[in-house]
Every structure is written in structure tokens, then in C-alpha cells.
């Protein structure tokens, strides 16, 4: 492919990438997206040599003045758009940008038109980058980067090969005698892709090491918050059922400290309810107090926990990425001990639920440490202890109800004495005697619980849980209804649970005198057929994991993560790095001292070390490159197999030869012509004559004659130069 053709192609790719980025990120109006897309395709087809398109576009009777008028029209349109149509600077500006791009695409004649196009693409890319945080931005950005590197490279190459200044000749009407020289060789191909990869890697390094100041200014909200029910002060019986068919993802829960997972369902607690009036559950203990911020970003209960004096299980660390919901409840596995995240403040109520000050309109990420209560043996044996007064007051409330429930509860628990045994009996009864079904009518019922227990005998979690709580309270065991999620979808690739709306669940917490609140779930497990084939399932898991990591590493990337990444890096290559680090510190000690003065103290010493290391590697790399270029020019051989590349290499050899001869005491005047130099060498240093003459001959032929060069010539010249560099002129 000709270089100019390739440039055209990559320019189009660049423009397309930024266009797609903007379309996905900013949501352009359909007509504008269609016009821009069609223009891109048309221009691309013209470059491919499609004759009709070519004729169509070249025959457009628009002069330079005409184009300027069109641009002016676009500008007027921008003002109209700004004042009346969109009424906002950002969308109006973006629409104007796209219109400019379309105009430029039709008007690509001069090299500076191409530069304008690149500038427009860059602005569009920046705009879409700040408008979105979605995963699709990553491939678009990669394409943009690749196309960008290619374009810059080709732009420079065509610039040097262009004979007459500003006039851009269309790729397909160009037939010069040097056409061979302007083709994309495989070598150029790999070099360009390598450069793009390098640029990408540097970007990644910069991304992870330079401290971040802020997220995108125009970061868009995530649209409508997910509508939730069952997580407020009041919940109708049967409310959760409405969301049980919705597969949208609510959160992802990562368990970083427990690498081995036995795929048990994880209960994620939201809120609990103590009062039931026969239809509606309410929370009477909803008075919220703020949590204590122990250290910046970390909020703890510190002894004020509602579930006090219970024996606690092991600490469970969770990292939760919560989608925007319309409830301020902060979900976590029970029972929360501390929450870490970027919150202004957090609140809790007496039931142990934790709340944000207001529902978040964007994704939030937080880390929770919680400890579950464990069943103490004292509750299983001997006498049940007395219940505390506040438990009796709050958790034995019963609605007005028919005696059938009281009778049923007594019947189920009549053989049992201890509260835990009673609870287990009711649980077993409900699990075995009733069938799980989502088909329960959602409409208002007169007495939903009675209907569930005695008539329909089918229902879902809320019915089961309500039934169990009421039955327990009837037999004098304090209990409450808890709503939350039951996470079952374990992603083994990313080591986290995916929690969806349909995982919404309700269960029961039973108060035991010694153990505290113990979770019990009377709902029988639903036999759900797995959706899709195993391959799709695995693929879905992997894609979801990538999404999570994208969000974690790039969108939500914070200084703390940065530190973690650096720490991990440090831990991995500790032994190898230590030596290098030591020598680097010796070398750049002074610099590091200065740096540590500038960098705030909370930035760890590790970071400075890494920075110094990078700097050192860069300096050494540059020094090596410089040395190679100067003393071993053949190492820095051509980028291209044919054409101007050779000319450049030979010129470099010649220059090196001249520098060397100057070093050996020859005149260093730049006015010495090549053959003259040969004669001077002949007169003054006979040993070097052959080498100098041979190098000069090839140089003249290639440089001034533009004659083809064989690989043998190149090799020979290389050898001669090597030979010459070994010679030492005898001192006269």
C-alpha cells in the first residue's frame, strides 16, 4: 500500500474512532450520527478507489469560499443550537464539532486539512473520554491510539517524501518514478504497531503511577437509578415479588480475603422490620444516628452495635461495588463492623442497617468488615435465658389475626421447649409443607398471610419469612423480618458475587438470649434451570469480570488502589528489585531527596523508589540509544527495506565517517565536498583511503543519485566503516 493511501486510511480510522466514541458517549442526535457516519464511509470508499463515489465527491461545485461559507453556516447553527435547541454549551459544542468534521471530510485537499481533522478528532476523543466511564471506551481508545500513532508516523513520512510543499496530491492519481519508495513495508507495519503498544504501555504506567486529581468533570450520571422496593421504612407484603424477575445487576461483592470459596449463598443484609400490621411491615426503630468516622473514610460502630453482647464469628471482608439505587441503604453481609469508602457521613439505626445520607446517583465502591453471629451452645442446652427488655418490647408485636395462625404455631412447636428448637421446627415445617412460586397475586389482599398459610400454600420468600416471624412471635420467640439479597452467582474468574434484582430476598432473624440475632431462612430453594449453555455462561462470567475490573481499575481508580498496585508490584519482584533500587538510590540519591521534599509526606517511600527506578531506566535507555546512534550507526539500521530509509542510513554512515576523520585531525569544515574528502584522505592518510573512498562512493550514488542500493552494498559499507573506525591515524 502506498504511504499516502495508508495515511488516508488511518486518518479515516482516527476520525471514525473519535466519532464512534462521541456517539456512544454523548448520544448524538440520530441525523447527525447518520450524516457523519455516511460521510466517513463515503470518504473511505473514495480512497478505496470507488469510481462513482469519487466522481460524486470531486464534482461537488463548491469553491474554497463556498466551504468557508458552509463553516460559517455551521457556526450560526451552533448558536441556534446553543440558544434554542439544546440550550446547553456542551451538546451544542459537540454537534458543531461533528458538523466541522463532516465539512473537513469533504474538503480534504491540503495537508493542513488533515491536521485540522486530527485536531477535531482529538477534541472529540477528549470529550467522549470525559463523558463516559463505560467499558466500550477502552477498545475505542485503543483503536484511536493505534490509528493515531500510524497517522503521525505516516504524516511525517509523506511529508519528507512530498516533493512540492503544500500541494497534496490525491493518492490514486500519483504515479511518480519513486513510487516504490513510498510503500508500507512489513517492517514499517511492525514498527508502527510496536510504537502504538509502547505508547499504550506508557499510558498505563502513567495512569497507575501519577496521582489522580479528579474524575472526569462532565462525568455523566448513570441515568435512572434502579427502582427498588422493600428497602424503605415500610414494605407491603409481596413487594419484593415485583422485582424478582428483573435480572439487572445491583451490586458486585468481592471477597478479597477468602480465596477459597465453597459457593454457599451469601446473605447480604439491607434493612429489618419489627412491626407487622397484617399487611405492611414497618420499622419502628428507624431513628438514625451517625456512625463514627474513626480514620478518614472508615466508619465504625465501635461498641454501639445494636447486636451487642453476642459472641461473634470471624471477620469477613467484602469489597462492594453498588450500582445507583433509589434507596440510601448500604448493603453488606451481616453484621457490619466498619465501612470504608468515600462518604461524607453514614448513619445507622437500631436494627443494624446502615444508610447513606441520600441515595447515590452514581456507582459507589466501599469496603465492609462484618462479623456474623454464631450460635452459642448455651442456647441449645438447659434453660433459655431471659430476654432483654428492649427485645421483648420491640420484637414480640403481633397484628390482629385469626386464631388459625396461633393454632398452627402451637401445633408445630408443641413438642419443643427451647426457642432455637421451636424456630427450627417452624422452619422445617414451612420449608417442607409449602411450595415456592412467584405466581402469587401481587394485588392487595385482605389477609395475605392467612391466604398463604391456609389457602394457596404457595408463595415466595416474603410470605415464608413473614409467616415464620409471626409464628415465632406467637409462641413467644422474638424475631424480625430482614430484607436484602441472597447472592448465589459466584464469578470464579473475578472472585466475586454478582447480585441482581432477582436475588432480592427476605429472611428471618431470631433472637436467642446468648447468641443474639441468628439468621434463619424458611424459604425452600427454588429449582431454577440454568440460563443458557455452559459456554455462554462462562463467557458471561468472564465479560462481567472484565467489566468489574474496568470499573475498579480505571473508573474508580483511587490513590489507595494506586498504592496497592505499587505494593503488589513491590512484593512480586522483591529480591531482584532490591539491588537495582539500592544502586538507583545511590545514583539518584540527591534527586530523590529533593523529590521527597516536594512530594507530600503521605506518599509512601515505595512510590519514590519506583519513580526513581523508572527515571533511571529512562536515562540509561536514552544514553544507550544515543551511544548506538553515534558510534554504531549500523545497529540503528533503517526502518524500511527500500527507498529513502537506505539513503538516510548511508548518510548517517557518511556523517559518522566524517566525524571520525575530524577526530583524527582532518579539517572539520562542513564545506568539504565528498570527493574532496576522499582526495584529502588519499593525500594524508593512505591506510584509510580505500574505506573512505568506498563509503563515499556508495554514499554519493545513493544520496545524490537516488540510485538503488543492494543489501551487499549496505553490508560492504558497514564493514568498511567498521574497519575505518578501528584504524588510528599515526601522529605526524
Partner 1 sequence: MTSTETIRAIQENIARVIKGKPHVIEMCLVALLARGHLLLEDVPGVGKTTLAHSLARSLDCSFKRIQFTSDLLPSDIVGVSIFNRQKQAFEFIPGPIFANIVLADEINRTTPKTQSSLLEAMSEAQISFDNKTYPLNPPFMVIATQNPAEYHGTFPLPESQLDRFLMRLRIGYPAPEEEKKVLERASSLHPAEELLPLLTAPEVVQLQDQVDKIFMEESLTEYLLSIVQSTRQSELLSLGVSTRGALALSRAAKALALVRGRTYCLPDDIKELAPIVLSHRIMVARQTGLHQRSFEQAERIIRDLVDTIPVPV
Strand ranges of the sheet holding 289-290, from the earlier edge strand across to the other edge:
289-290, 347-348, 354-355, 329-330
- Minimum distance, C-beta of residue 631 to partner 1, in the bound complex (Å): 18
Contact between 707 and partner 1 per CB under 8 A: yes
Smaller CB separation from partner 1, 161 or 242:
161
Contact between 629 and partner 1 per CB under 8 A: no
Binder among 35, 306, 700, 727 for partner 1 (CB under 8 A)? 700
Q: How far apart, in Å, are the Cα atoms of 183 and each of 151, 163, 194, 715?
A: 14, 16, 18, 23
- Minimum distance, C-beta of residue 160 to partner 1, in the bound complex (Å): 11
Smaller CB separation from partner 1, 561 or 679:
679
Contact between 683 and partner 1 per CB under 8 A: no
DSSP calls for 391-432 = HHHHHT---S--HHHHHHHHHHHTT--SHHHHHHHHHHHHHH
Q: Which stretch binds partner 1 (CB under 8 A): 225-233, 469-477, 521-529, 673-681?
A: 673-681
Binder among 160, 575, 670, 731 for partner 1 (CB under 8 A)? 670
Contact between 95 and partner 1 per CB under 8 A: no
Asked if 324 and 368 count as a contact pair (C-beta separation under 8 A), the reply is no
Contact between 703 and partner 1 per CB under 8 A: yes
- Minimum distance, C-beta of residue 62 to partner 1, in the bound complex (Å): 35
Contact between 669 and partner 1 per CB under 8 A: yes
Q: How many residues does the chain have?
A: 732
Contact between 655 and partner 1 per CB under 8 A: yes
Report helix, strand or coil for 9: helix
- Minimum distance, C-beta of residue 655 to partner 1, in the bound complex (Å): 6
Contact between 705 and partner 1 per CB under 8 A: yes
- Minimum distance, C-beta of residue 706 to partner 1, in the bound complex (Å): 7
- Minimum distance, C-beta of residue 713 to partner 1, in the bound complex (Å): 16
Contact between 660 and partner 1 per CB under 8 A: no
Nearest-angstrom CA–CA distance, 285 and 394: 9
State the SS3 of 341-394.
ECCCCCEECCCCCEECCCCCCCCEEEEEEEEEECCCHHHCCCCCCCCCHHHHHH
Contact between 642 and partner 1 per CB under 8 A: no
How far does Cα 595 stand from its chain's mean position? Answer: 30
Smaller CB separation from partner 1, 187 or 703:
703
Smaller CB separation from partner 1, 187 or 682:
682
How far does Cα 186 stand from its chain's mean position? Answer: 33
Q: What cell was used for 363?
A: 456507582
Contact between 294 and partner 1 per CB under 8 A: no
Binder among 199, 378, 651, 693 for partner 1 (CB under 8 A)? 651
Contact pattern from residue 159 through residue 188 relative to partner 1, giving x for each residue in contact according to CB under 8 A and a dash for the rest? ----x-------------------------
- Minimum distance, C-beta of residue 703 to partner 1, in the bound complex (Å): 7
Contact between 371 and partner 1 per CB under 8 A: no
Query: How far is it between the farthest Cα atoms of the chain?
Result: 126
Binder among 672, 680, 693, 725 for partner 1 (CB under 8 A)? 672
Nearest CA to 646 out of 658, 659, 633 is that of 633
Binder among 48, 110, 618, 675 for partner 1 (CB under 8 A)? 675
> Which phi and psi angles does 2 have, rounded to 5°?
-70, 150
Nearest-angstrom CA–CA distance, 210 and 566: 11
First to last CA, the chain: 56
Q: Which residue has the cell 548511508?
A: 650
Nearest-angstrom CA–CA distance, 713 and 699: 10
Binder among 658, 688, 713, 724 for partner 1 (CB under 8 A)? 658
Nearest-angstrom CA–CA distance, 565 and 584: 21
Contact between 315 and partner 1 per CB under 8 A: no
Smaller CB separation from partner 1, 539 or 707:
707
Binder among 75, 630, 676, 722 for partner 1 (CB under 8 A)? 676
Nearest CA to 715 out of 656, 657, 646, 629 is that of 646
Contact between 671 and partner 1 per CB under 8 A: yes
Chain contacts with partner 1 (rule: CB under 8 A): 163, 651, 654-655, 658, 669-676, 700-701, 703-707
Amino acid at each position: 500500500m502506498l504511504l499516502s493511501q495508508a495515511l488516508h486510511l488511518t486518518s479515516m480510522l482516527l476520525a471514525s474512532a473519535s466519532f464512534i466514541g462521541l456517539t456512544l458517549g454523548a448520544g448524538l442526535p440520530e441525523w447527525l450520527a447518520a450524516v457523519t457516519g455516511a460521510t466517513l464511509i463515503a470518504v473511505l470508499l473514495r480512497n478505496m478507489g470507488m469510481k462513482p463515489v469519487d466522481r460524486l465527491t470531486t464534482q461537488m461545485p463548491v469553491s474554497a469560499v463556498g466551504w468557508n461559507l458552509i463553516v460559517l453556516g455551521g457556526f450560526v447553527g451552533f448558536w441556534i443550537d446553543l440558544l434554542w435547541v439544546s440550550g446547553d454549551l456542551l451538546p451544542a459544542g459537540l454537534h458543531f464539532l461533528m458538523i466541522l468534521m463532516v465539512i473537513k471530510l469533504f474538503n480534504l485537499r491540503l495537508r493542513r486539512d488533515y491536521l485540522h481533522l486530527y485536531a477535531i478528532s482529538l477534541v472529540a476523543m477528549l470529550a467522549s473520554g470525559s463523558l463516559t466511564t463505560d467499558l466500550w471506551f477502552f477498545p475505542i481508545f485503543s483503536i484511536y491510539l493505534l490509528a493515531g500513532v500510524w497517522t503521525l508516523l505516516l504524516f511525517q513520512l509523506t511529508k519528507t517524501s512530498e516533493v512540492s510543499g503544500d500541494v497534496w496530491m490525491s493518492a490514486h492519481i500519483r504515479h511518480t518514478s519513486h513510487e516504490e519508495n513510498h510503500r508500507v513495508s512489513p517492517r514499517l507495519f511492525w514498527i508502527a504497531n510496536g510504537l502504538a503498544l509502547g505508547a499504550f504501555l506508557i499510558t498505563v504506567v502513567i495512569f497507575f503511577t501519577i496521582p489522580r486529581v479528579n474524575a472526569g468533570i462532565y462525568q455523566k450520571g448513570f441515568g435512572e437509578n434502579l427502582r427498588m422496593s422493600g428497602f424503605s421504612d415500610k414494605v407491603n407484603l409481596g413487594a419484593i415479588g415485583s422485582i424478582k424477575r428483573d435480572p439487572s445487576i445491583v451490586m458486585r461483592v468481592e471477597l478479597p480475603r477468602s480465596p477459597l470459596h465453597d459457593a454457599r449463598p451469601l446473605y447480604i443484609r439491607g434493612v429489618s422490620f419489627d412491626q407487622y400490621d397484617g399487611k405492611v411491615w414497618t420499622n419502628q426503630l428507624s431513628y438514625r444516628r451517625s456512625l463514627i468516622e474513626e480514620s478518614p473514610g472508615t466508619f465504625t460502630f465501635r461498641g454501639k452495635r445494636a447486636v451487642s453482647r453476642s459472641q461473634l464469628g470471624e471477620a469477613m471482608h467484602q469489597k462492594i461495588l453498588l450500582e445507583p439505587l433509589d434507596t440510601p441503604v448500604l448493603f453488606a453481609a451481616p453484621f457490619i463492623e466498619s465501612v470504608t469508602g468515600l462518604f461524607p457521613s453514614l448513619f445507622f439505626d437500631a436494627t443494624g442497617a446502615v444508610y447513606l445520607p441520600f441515595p447515590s446517583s452514581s456507582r459507589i465502591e466501599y469496603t465492609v468488615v462484618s462479623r456474623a453471629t454464631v450460635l452459642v451452645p448455651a442456647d441449645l442446652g438447659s434453660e433459655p435465658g431471659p430476654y432483654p427488655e428492649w427485645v421483648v418490647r420491640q420484637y414480640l408485636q403481633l397484628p390482629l389475626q385469626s386464631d388459625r395462625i396461633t393454632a398452627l404455631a402451637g401445633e408445630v412447636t408443641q413438642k419443643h421447649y427451647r426457642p432455637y428448637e421451636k424456630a427450627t421446627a417452624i422452619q422445617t415445617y414451612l420449608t417442607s409443607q409449602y411450595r415456592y412460586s412467584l405466581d402469587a397475586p401481587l394485588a392487595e389482599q385482605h389477609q395475605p398471610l392467612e391466604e398463604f398459610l391456609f389457602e394457596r400454600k404457595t408463595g415466595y420468600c416474603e410470605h415464608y419469612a413473614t409467616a415464620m416471624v409471626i409464628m415465632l412471635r406467637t409462641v413467644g420467640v422474638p424475631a424480625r423480618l430482614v430484607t436484602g439479597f441472597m447472592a448465589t452467582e459466584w464469578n470464579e474468574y473475578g472472585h466475586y458475587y454478582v447480585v441482581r434484582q432477582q436475588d432480592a430476598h427476605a429472611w428471618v432473624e431470631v433472637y436467642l438470649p446468648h447468641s443474639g440475632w441468628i439468621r434463619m431462612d424458611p424459604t425452600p430453594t427454588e429449582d431454577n434451570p440454568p440460563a443458557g449453555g455452559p459456554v455462554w455462561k462462562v463467557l458471561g462470567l468472564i465479560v462481567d469480570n472484565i467489566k468489574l475490573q474496568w470499573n475498579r481499575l480505571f473508573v474508580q481508580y483511587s490513590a489507595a488502589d494506586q498504592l496497592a498496585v505499587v505494593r503488589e508490584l513491590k512484593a512480586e519482584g522483591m529480591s531482584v528489585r532490591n539491588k537495582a533500587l539500592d544502586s538507583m538510590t545511590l545514583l539518584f540519591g540527591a534527586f530523590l531527596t529533593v523529590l521527597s521534599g516536594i512530594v507530600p509526606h503521605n506518599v509512601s517511600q515505595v512510590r519514590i523508589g519506583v519513580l526513581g527506578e523508572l527515571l533511571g531506566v529512562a536515562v540509561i535507555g536514552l544514553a544507550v540509544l544515543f551511544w548506538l546512534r553515534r558510534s554504531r550507526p549500523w545497529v540503528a539500521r533503517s526502518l524500511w527495506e527500500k527507498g529513502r530509509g537506505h539513503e538516510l542510513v548511508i548518510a548517517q554512515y557518511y556523517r559518522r565517517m566524517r566525524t571520525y576523520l575530524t577526530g583524527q585531525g582532518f579539517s572539520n569544515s562542513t564545506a568539504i565536498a565528498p570527493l574532496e574528502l576522499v582526495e584529502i584522505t588519499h593525500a594524508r592518510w593512505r591506510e584509510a583511503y580505500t574505506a573512505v573512498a568506498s563509503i563515499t562512493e556508495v554514499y554519493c550514488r545513493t544520496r545524490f543519485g537516488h540510485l538503488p542500493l543492494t543489501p551487499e552494498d549496505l553490508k560492504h559499507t558497514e564493514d568498511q566503516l567498521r574497519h575505518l573506525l578501528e584504524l588510528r591515524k599515526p601522529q605526524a
